[in-house]
Amino acid sequence: MPNYWLMKAEPAEASVDDVLAMPNATVPWTGVRNYQARNFMLDGMQVGDGVLFYHSSCAEPGIVGIARVASGAYTDPTQFDAKSPYFDAASKPEAPRWRLVDVQVLRKTRNLTLLELRADADLQDLIVLKKGNRLSITPVEPRHWHTILQRLGSPGLQEAF
């Protein structure tokens, strides 16, 4: 049984279109610097898990694509790069703090906006809608996943998972 996740990306950094333009439409999910989000990648994710690709910190936040987890967790190299905004001086190569997974976009969708998500009676318990939620990676319950794919008009995509 696959798990499902919602992953936030800032379109100014890596939009769904940016990822689609990359080889295999796959992006290393770099820059996660929160232990809870890291642990989801490290302990929770399996290759093939479903991912809702979400745009945050932009004019119209919302779900803009369907993706999948495309690798296991591995060391995020930017933590050792002093020139990177994600540099972490406290992380040592012999004990890396931060990991990432590769994420492959399968399909760009319409923007299922945060406003629509909030207005949807079937999605009230979605973690990303909870007040004060700031986690960039959150688990998604199967019932929420199915509802969202339905709202996106992509029920056929269900078979990919």
Which residues between 11 and 50 bind DNA (CB under 7 A)?
A: 33-36
Instruction: Give the x/- contact pattern for DNA in 100-119, rule: CB under 7 A.
Output: --------------xx--x-
Choosing from 30, 56, 71, 84, the residue that interacts with DNA (CB under 7 A) is 56
Q: What DSSP letter does each residue of 117-139 carry, written as one string?
A: HHH-GGGTT-GGGSTT---SEEE
Residue 76: closest CA among 96, 46, 105 = 96
3-state secondary structure of 88: coil
Count other C-beta atoms under 10 Å from residue 117's C-beta.
Answer: 22
Which residues between 127 and 156 bind DNA (CB under 7 A)?
A: 131-136
Does 58 bind DNA (CB under 7 A)? Our answer is yes
Binding site for DNA (CB under 7 A): 8, 10, 33-36, 56-58, 61, 90, 114-115, 118, 131-136
